[in-house]
Amino acid sequence: MDVRMLGQAEVLGTLGDVAHDRERHRRRRITHVAVVLGLVTTWFYWRLLSGNPARFGWPNVSLPEGFQDYLPGLILVLLLGSSLIIPLFVAGRSPHVQYRPSEIPVTFNDVVGLGMVRDEVVKTLNLFLAYKTFRDRMGGNPRKAILFEGPPGTGKTYMAKAMAREAGVPFLFVSASAFQSMYYGQTNRKIRSFFKKLRAAARREGGAIGFIEEIDAIAGARSGMRSSPMPDSLRHGGAALSVERSDSREGISGVVNELLIQMQSFDQPTAGARVKGALFDLVNRFLPEGHQFEKRPPVASNILVIGATNRAADLDPALLRPGRFDRSIHFDLPSRSGRREIIDYYLEKKAHVPELDKDERRDQLAAMTFAYSPVMIEHLFDEALVWSLRGGREAMEWDDVQQAKFTEEIGLKQPVEYTEDEKRTIATHEAGHAVVAYLNGIGRKLEVLSIIKRADALGLLAHSETEERFTRTRTELIASIQISFGGMTAEELFFGESGTGPGSDLAAATRIAAQMVGAYGMAGSLVSFEAIESSPVSQGIVGKVLADDEGRRAVDRLLDQAKEDVRKLLDENRHLVIALRDQLLVREELVGDEITDVLLQAAEAERFDRIERAGRG
């Protein structure tokens, strides 16, 4: 095999060393069977020829008298005994499931939009399949274990399934929680037997892959094991406060240790080899030095262990060191082009009108699914199909997708009757948000403005980024705080006071302000509160900043300034707030361009008014 093929972008399949090994094993098995069958046949033939053919039958055993009387009692005792003993054996069994490749419908072509991740996985798989070439000709150590980490729904399990299908070796799926058992010590036993099964499968087939789903369930950090080299006492500013994680299970440390040990024991000798070794040892004791039998070193089984988790930070650091799960593959939320691929892939399968085949629509879909994971995109289309069914249609339309997105993100509409006053307050409040977002929100697109109750929001303004970005400027953050204050300030301007409505707005504004003060150095001080690893008061950045007098004052100043600016802005643009409020009272919900249309018209009308007034005055 050409060494360079190891780096190719396709799976090696039957070209790899593993396939080679498997073929060798198959031939050897056939030879074994042929030899045994041949011997047996020869024996029968010999008996036949020598005039004494072999006969079969039951052995002549006679049961004692009165046996039938004891039989029921005996069976009862046996049943009871086995019901006590069998669970003990079963509990220590490996909980894995092994599928045949033909049972798995997912191929690498179904895993779309992952870009580099897919390449990395194929490379790892190829290294595994061509382990001998890699080891013998290049002197490399094949990877023993890799970690799939990333947020839920990003395709870790899905990718593993595709690997199982394409690898062509036994693939043992197990979910880490299945290792847990009610019997003490049984968890370790299950882990041992899982690895034993892996080794056996690898010996039989030239290689085996084990996949441990949600590995954090058994591989959480042992107490006292931290990735940070700093002693505890330093970390809490001298206070001797140490937070211990208490585990009610059989002690996570034993389990992690077991996992560590098993990861190092791919070269454990088989039972047969051990018996042979013991025999050699026995005989060697009688033999002079230099004439003894030599024991061959055990061959390491070709095993790849894949762990999947969405809480990689919680894993025990020892597990991530070289030789263990030393390679992490990060499954990120898909980028815009990744989402486009995923959208194309799923729309291919789901009924939709031709309009959704247009390039602009697809791009628009990719843009509006920012921060969606693949599973969320799939779910969005399923919901859109439900909406189209509701409308009596057989294929989804653009509107269905949009409806589905709104319901997904902001919840189902709940028909409640507000009192007239309440409705007016809510409309003013939402109009206030929208006007600030329209005037000051840089790069924000107004999506929905509504006074229909959804989940716990009485009304809402949904706005989104016009472009996909990963950083924010100070101006943008200030604008976000101002948008939050829009509702409260509008209420104050029009009714003289605000009610309980703005509660959640204030929380949002405080959160952003605290981050500006304590994390981004945007409010005068460059001290980062993120550097405090944990404080007795709170873990979060907001808690750390607010617990500090100076930090709290800085937050206060930011918020007051933002509020003051918003008050001026809305005072100058009362006409916009009024126009939106009135439209909301009539239509209850404005979507997309409807909002900007109202605002543009109102601005136009105001301009005429002003000219007229100037003309008269």
Ligand X SMILES: Nc1ncnc2c1ncn2[C@@H]1O[C@H](COP(=O)(O)OP(=O)(O)O)[C@@H](O)[C@H]1O
Residue numbers at the binding site for ligand X (CB under 6 A): 111-114, 152-158, 308, 331, 342, 345, 374-375, 378
Closer of 401 and 477 to ligand X (Cβ): 401
Q: What is residue 82's DSSP assignment?
A: H
Give min distance, CB of 34 to ligand X, in A: 45
Give min distance, CB of 105 to Mg ion, in A: 17
Closer of 157 and 425 to Mg ion (Cβ): 157
**What is the C-alpha separation between 274 and 276, in angstroms, rounded?**
5
Q: Which does 155 bind (CB under 5 to 8 A by kind): ligand X, Mg ion, none?
A: ligand X
> Cβ atoms within 10 A of the Cβ of 528, count?
14
Strand order in the sheet with 589-591: 460-465, 444-450, 589-591
Nearest CA-CA partner of 1 in 302, 141, 14: 14
Give min distance, CB of 90 to ligand X, in A: 28
**What is the C-alpha separation between 205 and 167, in angstroms, rounded?**
12
Closer of 158 and 398 to Mg ion (Cβ): 158
What is the CA angle 239-245-248, rounded to 5? 145
Closer of 150 and 207 to Mg ion (Cβ): 150
Paired tokens of 31: 């030879």
**What is the C-alpha separation between 363 and 53, in angstroms, rounded?**
82
SS3 assignment, position 156: helix
CA distances from 17 to 126, 187, 192, 484 (A): 10, 34, 27, 62
Q: Which does 558 bind (CB under 5 to 8 A by kind): ligand X, Mg ion, none?
A: none
Closer of 114 and 559 to ligand X (Cβ): 114
Give min distance, CB of 165 to ligand X, in A: 14
Stretch that binds Mg ion, among 154-162, 349-357, 386-394, 482-490 (CB under 5 A): 154-162
Closest residue to Mg ion in the complex (CB): 157
Q: Which does 375 bind (CB under 5 to 8 A by kind): ligand X, Mg ion, none?
A: ligand X
Q: Which does 112 bind (CB under 5 to 8 A by kind): Mg ion, ligand X, none?
A: ligand X
Stretch that binds Mg ion, among 85-93, 155-163, 475-483, 572-580 (CB under 5 A): 155-163
Integer distance in angstroms from the first to the last C-alpha of the chain?
Answer: 93
8 A C-beta contact, residue 145 and residue 304:
yes
Q: CB-based burial of residue 573 (10 Å sphere; 0-12 exposed, 13-18 middle, 19+ buried)?
A: buried
Closer of 19 and 111 to ligand X (Cβ): 111
Give min distance, CB of 111 to ligand X, in A: 5
Closer of 216 and 400 to Mg ion (Cβ): 216
Give min distance, CB of 112 to Mg ion, in A: 17
Closer of 170 and 374 to Mg ion (Cβ): 374
Q: What is residue 115's DSSP assignment?
A: T
Closer of 215 and 437 to Mg ion (Cβ): 215
Give min distance, CB of 310 to Mg ion, in A: 8
- HSE-up of residue 508 (Cα within 13 Å, Cβ side): 16
Sign of CA dihedral 329, 217, 318, 244: positive
Give min distance, CB of 599 to ligand X, in A: 39
Q: Which does 153 bind (CB under 5 to 8 A by kind): ligand X, Mg ion, none?
A: ligand X
Stretch that binds Mg ion, among 151-159, 393-401, 419-427, 520-528 (CB under 5 A): 151-159
Stretch that binds Mg ion, among 107-115, 152-160, 222-230, 482-490 (CB under 5 A): 152-160
Closer of 329 and 385 to Mg ion (Cβ): 329
Give min distance, CB of 163 to ligand X, in A: 12
**What is the C-alpha separation between 561 and 585, in angstroms, rounded?**
31
Contacts of 222 (CB under 8 A, 6+ apart): 252, 253, 256, 316, 318
Closest residue to ligand X in the complex (CB): 155
Count of residues that interact with Mg ion, criterion CB under 5 A? 2
Torsion angle, CA of 221/225/227/228, rounded to 10 degrees?
140
Q: Based on the shown chain and the rule CB under 5 A, indicate whether residue 157 belongs to the binding site for Mg ion.
A: yes
Q: Which does 304 bind (CB under 5 to 8 A by kind): ligand X, Mg ion, none?
A: none
Q: Which does 113 bind (CB under 5 to 8 A by kind): Mg ion, ligand X, none?
A: ligand X
DSSP assignment of 388-404 equals HHHTT-SSB-HHHHHHH
Binding site for Mg ion (CB under 5 A): 156-157
